[in-house]
Amino acid sequence: MTTTSRPPTGSDGVGKGGAAAPPGPSRSHRPSPRERFAREKARVREGAGKDRQEKLRAQGRLAARERLETLFDPGTFVEIDPFVSHRITSFGLSERRIPGDGVVTGWGKIEGRVVAAFAQDPTVFGGALGEAHASKIVKIMEFAAKVGAPVVGLNDSGGARIQEGVVSLGGYGEVFHRNVLYSGVVPQVSVILGACAGGAVYSPAMTDFIIMAEGASHMFITGPDVIRTVTGEEVTHEQLGGAHTHASKSGVAHLVAPGEKEALALTRRLLSYLPSNNLEDPPSSPPRSPPPSAAGELDALVPAEADRPYDMHEVIGRVVDPESTLEIFPSWAPNMITELARLDGHPVGVVANQPQVLAGCLDIEASEKGARFVRTCDAFNLPLLTFVDVPGFLPGTQQEYGGIIRHGAKLLFAFSEATVPKLTVIPRKAYGGAYDVMCSKHIGGDYNVAWPQAEIAVMGAEGAVNILFRRELDKAPEGERSSLRKTLTDEYAAEFLNPYLAAERGYLDDVIDPSETRKRLLEAFEALRGKRQDRPPKKHGNIPL
């Protein structure tokens, strides 16, 4: 038996023995590594096609990479996983493999600090999430947790990718799980820049802050068409899930910006108040002092009459650093003010009753708003500054049936649970259980002060007199009843509606002149900066959700 062997071939494809080599691709037609690199990078940048990106720009919107380049300091964005694509062959997807799979991920710097981010690309499968898409988001979230950096999601997604079925749902579950694992570890910010539906809204809902772009972004579980079919209701996209709906009615959106670029700029500003992770202190800025006249104006801002409204923003603005406030939830539950600010350059979280709205009463939405903000500040080491002017909880069947007991307890729980420095100022009144809830000394306030006109009591004088002296008033002749009620009211107010009874018992650390407020707070924060407070060992508390 004889065997034959193929003669060796040379680099020209012709056998050294003179025989022609087997036919094959000519090396002259193969792109060089550099040429292929350029071609593949161009494919990555092109995404689903230049025409689709141009259509997006024609709508006044940015492409995914442009959004990230706008978010980060110039030239600092580093993309990862640009070549990742899906592995699905059904429904024609084998012929539609687009590099990046509809999401751009990476990291960069914002004001010199490392931040991780992802931006969904609505030109690729409508930004819908599939297995590979989800794995990229999970990977950048895990990177953020490892290095201790905030993670920003630029969300523009129609939800789960239907062609991938349960695999896409599994991908969402992986993202949700990381949202929970890293909650309170690194700041998570969601910026909504398009229509997000179904699963695409649950991940943002578990992040620390949601920013929406006016007119361009929408969030809903089911869209108007499904609602029309199921319930018969007629509603537009904007009415159902627009920025103003979620900023004023549902409390889903923390902040609203006029457009995409403004939303990205607002994200940068928001992060300037927050540490990179829960083991760091918030970044400080050069201190700025209010004008010399501000301290003397405080006393005149607050009316002596307990039932006269005034704007608590005016008080806060004369105590914190000028132009340093960023109000969170400005349009939702406006009877409660929650805002980020700076005091001598250091970020703080401000919580305050707003007497201009519902007399500053605590209701369901205000309690939930305050509790959420307090817990966020505590998670990321922002000291809490509370201004109290509250007549109590809002009465009524709607509040009771809606669970004001449970919701009010959330605020009480949040303040009690917080271990950051907690300072409380009572400019005018603090009545009933609301006095306790608004960061009183009894639930862990570190430095509690009141102004001389403050009224700290179970209730106002008239209500107290009507209960305490009901029999005397009923027995009094009708012509003398009004005069007797006034006398008793004045006596009760003089005896009980003042800050000194609380101060005598140590419930207040001092009664101060309004003009001293900023100075006293600066001194207290300086003393409390190294505060450490241990809690009993436990898995976690059971906040009354």
pLDDT digits (tens, 9 = 90+) for 67-93: 999 999 999 999 999 988 867 756 666
* Cα–Cα distances in angstroms (integers) from residue 288 to residues 21, 409, 526, in the given order: 81, 36, 16
Report the relative pairing of strands 218-220 and 113-120 from DSSP bridges.
unpaired
Q: How far is CA 498 from the centre of its chain?
A: 37
Query: What pLDDT score was predicted for residue 163?
Result: 80
- Do 509 and 472 lie in one domain? The reply is no
- Taking alpha carbons only, the member of 84, 85, 103, 90 closest to residue 163 is 90
Question: Residues 6 or more apart from 314 whose CB is under 8 A from it?
Answer: 301
In a domain, 539, yes or no: no
351 and 205 housed in the same domain: no
Between 18 and 355, whose confidence is greater?
Answer: 355
Please tell me the total count of domains within the chain.
3
Last residue of a domain, one of 271, 306, 337: 271
Q: Give the pLDDT score at 99.
A: 77
Return the pLDDT at 419.
97
Say yes or no: 297 and 351 in one domain: yes
What is the structure's pLDDT at 213? 96
What amino acid positions are annotated as catalytic residues? 198-199, 433-434
Lowest-confidence region among 168-172, 317-321, 513-517: 168-172
Range of the domain at 221: 40-271
**Could you tell me if 177 and 59 lie in one domain?**
yes
Give CA–CA dist 496/289, Å, rounded: 36
What is the rounded distance in angstroms from the CA atom of residue 408 to the CA atom of residue 399? 10
Is residue 534 situated within a structural domain?
no
Q: Specify whether the CB–CB gap between 46 and 63 falls below 8 A.
A: no
Closest CA to 513 of 440, 395, 394, 425: 425
Task: Please report whether residue 278 resides in a domain.
Answer: no
* 212 belongs to a structural domain: yes
208 & 136 share domain: yes
Residue 260 covered by a domain = yes
pLDDT at 37 over 90: no
Q: Is the pLDDT of residue 423 over 70?
A: yes
Q: What is the pTM of this model?
A: 0.89
Q: In the prediction, which pLDDT does 7 show? A: 41
Task: Kindly state the DSSP code that residue 17 receives in the 8-state scheme.
Answer: T
**Same domain as 471, residue 389:** no
Is position 305 within any domain? Answer: yes
Q: What is the mean pLDDT of residues 105-130?
A: 94
CB neighbours of residue 225 within 10 Å:
9
Among residues 67, 168, 241, which one has the least CA distance to residue 176?
Answer: 168
State the pLDDT at residue 144: 98
> What band does 479 get if pLDDT is binned at 50, 70 and 90?
confident
